[in-house]
Amino acid sequence: MKGGVVSKIDHAESIRDQVYRILSHPDTVFQYISRGTYGEVFKVTYSGTDSGFEGEEAAEKPKVHVKEFILKVQGIDMRLKHVSEPEPNRSEEQYEKDGEFYPYSRKIKWDELCEEVELQQHIYTCALKKTLMPPCPAILFYDGITAEQFETFTKGQLVYKDGYGRLEHVPPIKSRDFRAYRLGIIFMEYVHSEDLSIVPHERYAAKYQEIESKALRTYVTTLQCGVLQGDPKPQNFLLTEDDNVVLIDFGIARKLTKREVDELEPMMQEAEAGNCDNLRKKLTQMEPENYKCLHLLIFRPTIFKSGKRVYPTLAPAIHVSKDTADKYIKGVSKWTPTLPRRESLSAETIAEPALIQRRDMEAEDRIARAAAEQEELRLYSEEGKRRRFWGGKRHTKYVGTRKKVGTRRKV
């Protein structure tokens, strides 16, 4: 893993300003990479003035440095739409049954996004404190931004609007309220790699045992940092240019309990010595019920002609020097999220001009309707002398207008 992107951050300028300067720079290029259940992933290529982040860089032109980052975008107040259209005869459940992504993402709670970021931060810094190569990319920044603000960054590549300025799959709104809908963004280092589901077969087959052993090492390193990734499918393992393996996507990760740590510690020591059987059985049991993925890659046995099954072994740990570890830790030490930890954003919790305007208009409408009803009552009251008779000499008051011929509302 080449993690040099976070080796230095210019603290003279806040990380928020650095990131927003990169995202809003006219020469910044957003390249769509992939999508998941809850959002989309872009590769951000920045060139021009210094970004403030020092590390991996390539000189396309003299004195012009190109820096690359990953931008993960997830919906908080709305669902995100992919460029493809859903097939008319296939429901969202059918898409999932067929193992395909529905073109509309799901919404995610802000707390869940914060938890994912904090777990990945914990893994990265914990590994460095143990002088181990971090098993995941470094997160540089995360924030909650409006859909309108995001469109100014990506020039409308993701957020969908129809001709009337409304969003699909959210309640009908007017275009002035577009600023009220928010997204969660995660800005992290870019790792030159390809995931193990699309690695060319001729490159992968020659040393698949070595790569699977490295994948197991990456997975075990996250355990040594006290976190269970939860979704170890081939798409979440990246094979870097120098043939190291990096783990991504901690959306359903969780911290290990003290009891689990105590149980896993001797098993990991056995695996270091060459016996992975107990660790393999334990981790298979710990997998979430709906995410049984270990057998697809790092615990997939090799069957020889003799019929013997051989499971991957644990590759040696990759260590970094203490100076390098300290330098990388400084790069991710300061984060400044704008949103507090809370369930979700709503009209009561977002101080947006559009929402304030909408609330004021709704209040004015309620006042106007109440005034109209009072006026209608006055017209049909005794003061208005609009008395009606029903059933002989008995007097009865009526109010309102006729909905159907011959019917009135009695009070």
Which residue among 294, 317, 345 closes a domain?
345
Task: Return the ∠ at Cα 86 (arms to 83 and 90), rounded to 5°.
Answer: 160
Same-domain status, 359 and 339: no
Whether the predicted pLDDT of 104 surpasses 70: yes
DSSP, collapsed to helix, strand or coil, labels residue 233 as coil
In a domain, 41, yes or no: yes
pLDDT score for 296: 83
Rounded to an integer, what is the distance from CA 387 to the centroid of its chain? 65
pLDDT in tens, 241-292: 888 899 999 988 999 999 999 999 999 999 998 888 899 899 998 988 888 8
Which residue among 326, 345, 364 closes a domain?
345
Which segments of 206-352 does DSSP mark as H helices, in order? 208-224, 258-273, 277-286, 322-331
d(C-alpha 280, C-alpha 313), whole Å:
10
Same-domain status, 167 and 89: yes
Estimate the crossing angle of helix 258-273 against helix 208-224, to 10 degrees.
150
Task: Return the ∠ at Cα 181 (arms to 157 and 68), rounded to 5°.
Answer: 40
In a domain, 248, yes or no: yes
Which residue among 301, 327, 345 closes a domain?
345
Contact call for residues 315 and 210 (beta carbons, < 8 A): yes
> Residue 376: how many CB atoms within 10 A of its CB?
14
Give the closest residue to 248 by CA, choosing from 405, 76, 34.
34
pLDDT band with cut points at 50, 70 and 90 for residue 338 = low
Same-domain status, 182 and 205: yes
Same-domain status, 300 and 386: no
- What is the domain extent for residue 361? 355-410
Q: Which residue has the higher pLDDT, 180 or 223?
A: 223
DSSP, collapsed to helix, strand or coil, labels residue 121 as helix
DSSP-assigned letter for residue 174? -
Same-domain status, 303 and 402: no
pLDDT score for 347: 44
Whether the predicted pLDDT of 153 surpasses 60: yes
Same-domain status, 211 and 284: yes
Token representation of residue 349: 């919790």
d(C-alpha 190, C-alpha 56), whole Å:
9
Same-domain status, 308 and 365: no
Same-domain status, 168 and 254: yes
Same-domain status, 286 and 394: no
pLDDT in tens, 31-80: 888 888 888 899 999 887 677 776 654 444 445 578 889 999 998 887 88
Same-domain status, 295 and 398: no
Contact call for residues 102 and 179 (beta carbons, < 8 A): no
Token representation of residue 208: 């698949």
One-letter amino acid for residue 399 of the chain: V
Number of domains in the chain: 2
